[in-house]
């Protein structure tokens, strides 16, 4: 299902916007080279990524600092904070974020999920 989210000029570079794609919570990102969408929760302990830091095309989870590529959802760095969280990582194995298809049509941003 394709959903109209916003217009291109409504977001600035490195902005993150919580959105709904069908019945799923997601995040829309505007990077230097375009718009991308991922699931809204970290795959480590399911913390919201909405307030995570965006840097160099990655989103960092505010809880345990796992980093994911915004474009692909791939894990770039698994949870590493605070010291000792690595013990939990034996159970919580690395898992990529789900990504959604984003299209720009006539200045509008659509996400398909």
How far is C-alpha 24 from the geometric centre of its chain's CA atoms?
A: 13
> Would you state the pLDDT for residue 104?
97
DSSP notation for 41-104:
B-TTT--B-TTSEEETTEEE-TTT--EEETTT--EEE----STTHHHHTTTS---PPPEEEEEE
> Would you state the pLDDT for residue 86?
66
| pLDDT tens digits along 44-91 | 878 899 999 999 999 999 988 899 999 999 999 887 766 666 656 566
Pairing of strands 15-21, 67-69: unpaired
* Confidence class for position 106, pLDDT limits 50, 70, 90: very high
> Would you state the pLDDT for residue 85?
63
**Which among 66, 6, 70, 3 is positioned nearest to 33, based on CA atoms?**
70
Sign of CA dihedral 91, 87, 47, 20: negative
Q: What's the chain's length in residues?
A: 113
**Domains of the chain, with CATH numbers?**
2-112 (2.102.10.10)
Please state the pTM of the whole predicted model.
0.89
| pLDDT tens digits along 22-49 | 899 999 999 999 999 999 999 987 889 9
């Amino acid at each position: 299902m394709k959903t109209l989210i916003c217009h291109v000029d409504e977001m600035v570079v490195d902005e993150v916007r919580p959105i709904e794609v069908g019945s799923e919570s997601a995040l829309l990102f505007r990077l230097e080279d375009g718009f991308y969408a991922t699931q809204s929760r970290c795959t480590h302990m399911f913390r919201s990524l909405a307030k995570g830091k965006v840097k160099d095309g990655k989103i960092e989870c505010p809880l345990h600092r796992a980093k994911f590529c915004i474009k692909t959802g791939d894990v770039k760095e698994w949870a590493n904070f605070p010291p000792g969280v690595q013990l939990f990582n034996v159970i919580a194995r690395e898992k990529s974020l789900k990504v959604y298809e984003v299209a720009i049509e006539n200045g509008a941003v659509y996400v398909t999920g």
